[in-house]
Structure formats: C-alpha cells, structure tokens
Amino acid sequence: MTSAALSLLGAPRLFRAANAFDLDREIRRGFPAESLVRFKRDAGFSYEEIAALLDISARTIERAIAHRARLSRGASDRLYRVARVLALGEQVLEDRKRALDWLRRPQHGLGGRVPIELLATEAGSREIEFLLERIEHGFLA
C-alpha cells in the first residue's frame, strides 16, 4: 500500500486507510465517486480512459459522481490498482508526466505492449510493476 496511490484517490480526506486492512474495508465498501474526480484531476487520465480501465461505462461514472454514490467493489479495486501502478511509475521515473507518457507508449520490456492497455487486468498490472522495479534497480527494460 502506498500513500502516493491513496493520495491520488483522495485519502485521507475522502476515506481513511491507515493500513492494508483499512484499505481492504474501503475497497469492499466502494470508494466514494469523488475519488474518480480526484484521480482524474491529479493523475491526468480522461474519463474515457478511466472507464475502460475500470470496465464501466462513462455514463456510469457520470451517474456515480452526480449522485455522490460509491463505486462498486470491482471498480474500486481496479481504481486502486491503476493508482498504485501510476504512483510506482512516478516514483521510478521521478515525474508524473514522464510516468503518464511512459504508460501510454509501447515498452520493449513488455514485448512492445502499451502499459495502459495492460492495466485492465491484475496480471497485466503485475507485469508493469515488475518492469518498473527492474528499471528502478538499473536493469535494462
């Protein structure tokens, strides 16, 4: 659990997660829709990109925000996964813009795949994290 990822989602103002068990509870409850607004603003993703990554429609996002609803457990879990990977990218590449650019370009270390497209699954996200960790430790990617 990274504080940078949680900050991208609006913690501690929108929800509290002092440890992994708190985070699990918040994901199960569903993050407040305001977390999406905060993530969009701070991370630089469009609502269309977020909808694709969370496997929900842009209309569902609009309704959740308008009604100040909570996201589903699945959407909350996927949103945390994306925030976690972006935070790691920002840490490794030392800049949010560089991390976002990196996520949007094909990467040799991912077999030429575009990281943002792999973020839709846990398996793809883990591969991105492994590559970022290799980069951080000086291995060619």
Instruction: Say how far apart CA 97 and CA 61 lie, in whole Å.
Output: 24
**pLDDT of 136 over the 80 cut:** yes
The predicted structure's pLDDT at residue 114: 97
Angle between helices 47-54 and 73-93 (to 10 degrees): 120
End-to-end CA distance of the chain: 24
Q: What is the pLDDT of residues 88-109, one digit of tens each?
A: 999 999 999 999 999 999 999 9
Instruction: Say how far apart CA 91 and CA 84 lie, in whole Å.
Output: 11
Query: Whole-model pTM?
Result: 0.91
The predicted structure's pLDDT at residue 44: 85
The predicted structure's pLDDT at residue 125: 96
The predicted structure's pLDDT at residue 141: 52
**pLDDT of 37 over the 70 cut:** yes
Q: What is the pLDDT of residues 63-80, one digit of tens each?
A: 999 999 999 999 999 999
The predicted structure's pLDDT at residue 109: 94
